[in-house]
């Protein structure tokens, strides 16, 4: 039994170290542990019950709201009966307080300090005080003493106090693992009990509620609580326990706890209505609480172990994502920086060579967007008979052409080729934007998660990657412009010789005619012009010849522009995205490197918090494993 309670005490001490309690927004362990929560109305005798269990005077006393913050009281039974009893607060670790009068004063002082920090006008606070009492005379228990409930504000209490106290207590008793110790004065009507009202609200089945009747010794003459203790008046699944606490006169005359217990036993044994009942007295209450807590612990232990293991796995993963501690030696910082650069480059390369976010997007530019842009070009505006005639006439000037208008042909072709420049350069820019987007994707991949820790390095990497891509874009832009200009600089005369030869009467009929197609897809040598006037037929032939030539060049550009983009931009980006940064970093001194990988305080604090939680939960897991 002692081992079981001792285990829970250790787990709750771990909760204390974690700052974990019923009010924690994301409770890690507290709500998984069975905990006895003491609730009752103001001056119902809650604190006296706790003191009787502990066997010491140590809680604040008075009228109205005496307990003003939840008190998480851990009782640890020591093996040495000769050792001095003492208490220790979590807000003053290592300070052992042997005087229980000093413990009471520290509770009052810490409450005042805390309320003052909150603004000074607060009457109560939901933030708990953690107190551990070590003694050979206490059971291994953990109890939470809540501020007393009330129905009406008194003694200058603010109107909101009723709701504040109610909500505070509910936070602690609503958990399925909270054991509710409902303290009610026996000399009051049970129907008006604040503790029973709340217990019924949060535990309607009564699976978690134990009733305690106080002030049995001051009930009206001729009345008793026997029927309640026997479950006849108001039945609770786990029953009722009656206790007799010290009265104010006993406290004033400094009646010891030992004498008070003897007096309590004498009272119940001397009353015929209670002599045959087992469920009376503080000793019975302490044993009942211990046994009940043990049963709840044994039922909960497997699920607690499973929950802790799952949480450890999650925190381990979270800690890995946050990265390890940063060493500030030059060699270690340089190694880390270069390693992160290489990770980013590998992630970038994988995405470029990969699916829809990388390679497919680039291919989409080549196979769809570039083709669509070129196919939509207004070539027909250049190839109208009116424009052909105008260009030919302007090209001839005062000296008309003799056989074929060569200058006119050249101008028409140059006008058509100039249209190819914009969509080709736009393809360069589209791929450039895709590569920039891939850098952002690479930065956010799991392999590069450590970059999130180092804002300065992350910024440097993104800037250097952008500079590299911009330089490559300019190189590629120049290459594509050159490709278009090359076509305009030198026209392939062999194309026109083939046409002239194929159209001549002397053409060898045994030879296959060359297959030249216009931009509209018509076979050049299957077209008929005899239905047109002679002048129009002449102009239409020129238009079709130019169209067929442009169709060939268009096909060449659709093949060579992607090659130029890949050769001048994509492949160099894959091979040396951060080369300039790595060369620059290699020459940096320790202070410069420290500024570069200066981890954000937020992430450092987050990592320390996760490490602390992980360490404590691993300790909790070992405690449970050792027990089982």
Which band of pLDDT confidence, cut at 50, 70 and 90, is reported for residue 434? very high
Tokens of 286: 């302490």
Report CA-CA distances (Å) from 544 to 286, 549, 554: 107, 9, 15
Query: How would you class 20 by CB atoms within 10 Å of its CB: exposed for 0-12, middle for 13-18, buried for 19 or more?
Result: buried
DSSP 149-216: B-SS--TT--TTHHHHHHHHHHHHHSSTTEEEEEEEETTS-GGG-HHHHHHHHH-TT-TTEEEEEE-G
Token match 């362990």: residue?
29
Q: Averaged over 487-513, what is the pLDDT?
A: 72
Beta strands 240-242 and 209-214, pairing class: parallel
pLDDT for residue 401: 59
pLDDT band for position 229 (cuts 50, 70, 90):
very high
CA 383/CA 273 separation, integer angstroms: 119
Task: Give the pLDDT band (50/70/90) at residue 201.
Answer: very high
Q: Which helix (H) or strand (E) holds 132?
A: strand 129-135
CB 56 within 8 Å of CB 257:
yes
Place 406 in a pLDDT band, splitting at 50, 70 and 90.
confident
Sign of CA dihedral 417, 418, 421, 422: negative
- How do residues 132-142 score in pLDDT, each as one tens digit? 888 888 777 77
Give whole-number Cα distances, 364 to 85, 194, 359, 369, 556, in Å. Answer: 79, 72, 8, 7, 18
> Could you tell me the two tokens for 36?
């006895």
Q: Does residue 594 come out as left (phi exceeding 0), alpha (psi in the -120 to 50 range) or beta?
A: alpha
**pLDDT mean over 536-555:** 88
Q: What average pLDDT score do residues 353-358 get?
A: 80
Average pLDDT (90-96) is 84
Per-residue pLDDT tens digits for 2-13: 666 667 667 766
Question: Pairing between strand 141-145 and 71-77?
Answer: antiparallel
- The residue whose two tokens read 């940096």 is 588
What mean pLDDT comes out for the span 324-343? 74
What pLDDT, on a 0 to 100 scale, did the predictor assign at position 89?
87
| Mean pLDDT within 383-393 | 86
Please give the pLDDT value at position 177.
Answer: 82
Judged against a pLDDT cut of 70, whether residue 165 lies above it is answered with yes
Nearby residues of 329 by Cβ (< 8 Å), 6 or more positions away = 590
Domains in the chain with CATH codes: 36-318 (3.40.50.300), 327-598 (1.20.120.1240)
The mean pLDDT of 428-439, rounded to a whole number, is: 94
Note the pLDDT of residue 520.
Answer: 87
């Amino acid at each position: 039994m002692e081992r079981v309670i001792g285990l829970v005490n250790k787990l709750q001490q771990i909760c204390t170290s974690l700052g974990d309690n019923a009010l924690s927004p994301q409770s890690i362990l507290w709500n998984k542990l069975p905990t006895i929560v003491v609730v009752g109305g103001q001056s119902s005798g809650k604190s006296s019950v706790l003191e009787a269990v502990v066997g010491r005077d140590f809680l604040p006393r008075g009228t109205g709201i005496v307990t003003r913050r939840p008190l998480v009281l851990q009782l640890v039974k020591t093996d040495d009966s000769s050792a001095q009893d003492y208490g220790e607060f979590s807000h003053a670790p290592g300070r052992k307080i042997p005087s229980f009068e000093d413990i009471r004063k520290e509770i009052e002082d810490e409450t005042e300090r805390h309320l003052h920090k909150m603004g000074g006008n607060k009457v109560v606070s939901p933030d708990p005080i953690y107190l551990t009492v070590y003694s050979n005379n206490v059971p291994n228990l953990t109890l939470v003493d809540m501020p007393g409930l009330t129905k009406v504000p008194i003694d200058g209490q603010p109107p909101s106090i009723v709701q504040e106290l109610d909500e505070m207590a509910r936070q602690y008793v609503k958990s399925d693992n909270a054991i509710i110790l409902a303290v009610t004065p026996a000399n009051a009507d049970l129907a008006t009990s604040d503790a029973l009202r709340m217990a019924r609200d949060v535990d309607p089945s009564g699976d978690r509620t134990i009733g305690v009747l106080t002030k049995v010794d001051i009930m009206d003459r001729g009345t008793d609580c026997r029927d309640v203790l026997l479950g006849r008046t108001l039945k609770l699944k786990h029953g009722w326990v009656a206790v007799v606490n010290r009265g104010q006169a006993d406290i004033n005359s400094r009646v010891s706890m030992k004498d008070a217990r003897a007096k309590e036993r004498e009272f119940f044994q001397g009353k015929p209505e209670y002599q045959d009942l087992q469920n009376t007295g503080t000793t019975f209450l302490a044993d009942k609480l211990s046994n009940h807590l043990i049963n709840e612990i044994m039922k909960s232990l497997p699920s607690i172990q499973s929950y802790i293991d799952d949480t450890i796995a999650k925190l381990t993963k979270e800690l890995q994502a946050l990265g390890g501690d940063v060493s500030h030696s030059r060699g270690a910082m340089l190694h880390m920086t270069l390693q992160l650069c290489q990770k980013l480059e590998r992630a970038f390369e994988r995405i470029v060579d990969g699916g829809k976010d990388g390679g497919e997007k680039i291919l989409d530019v080549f196979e769809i967007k570039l083709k669509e842009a070129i196919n939509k070009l207004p070539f027909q505006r250049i190839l109208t008979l009116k424009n052909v005639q105008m260009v030919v006439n302007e090209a001839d000037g005062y000296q008309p052409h003799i056989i074929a208008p060569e200058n006119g042909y050249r101008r028409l072709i140059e006008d058509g080729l100039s249209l190819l420049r914009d969509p080709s350069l736009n393809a360069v820019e589209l791929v450039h934007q895709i590569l920039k987007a891939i850098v952002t994707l690479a930065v956010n991949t799991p392999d590069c998660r450590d970059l999130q820790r180092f804002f300065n390095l992350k910024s440097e990497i993104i800037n250097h990657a952008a500079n590299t891509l911009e330089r490559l874009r300019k190189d590629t832009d120049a290459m594509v412009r050159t490709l278009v200009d090359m076509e305009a600089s030198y026209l392939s005369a062999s194309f026109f010789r083939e046409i002239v030869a194929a159209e001549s009467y002397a053409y060898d009929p045994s030879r296959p005619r060359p297959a030249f197609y216009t931009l509209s897809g018509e076979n050049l040598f299957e077209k008929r012009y005899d239905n047109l006037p002679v002048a129009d037929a002449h102009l239409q032939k020129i238009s079709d010849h130019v169209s067929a030539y442009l169709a060939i060049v268009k096909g060449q550009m659709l093949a060579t522009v992607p090659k130029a983009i890949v050769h001048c931009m994509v492949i160099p980006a894959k091979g040396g995205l951060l080369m300039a940064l790595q060369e620059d970093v290699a020459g940096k001194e320790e202070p410069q490197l420290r500024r570069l990988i200066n981890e954000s305080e937020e992430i450092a604090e987050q990592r320390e918090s996760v490490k602390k939680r992980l360490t404590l939960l691993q300790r909790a897991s070992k405690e449970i494993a050792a027990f089982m």
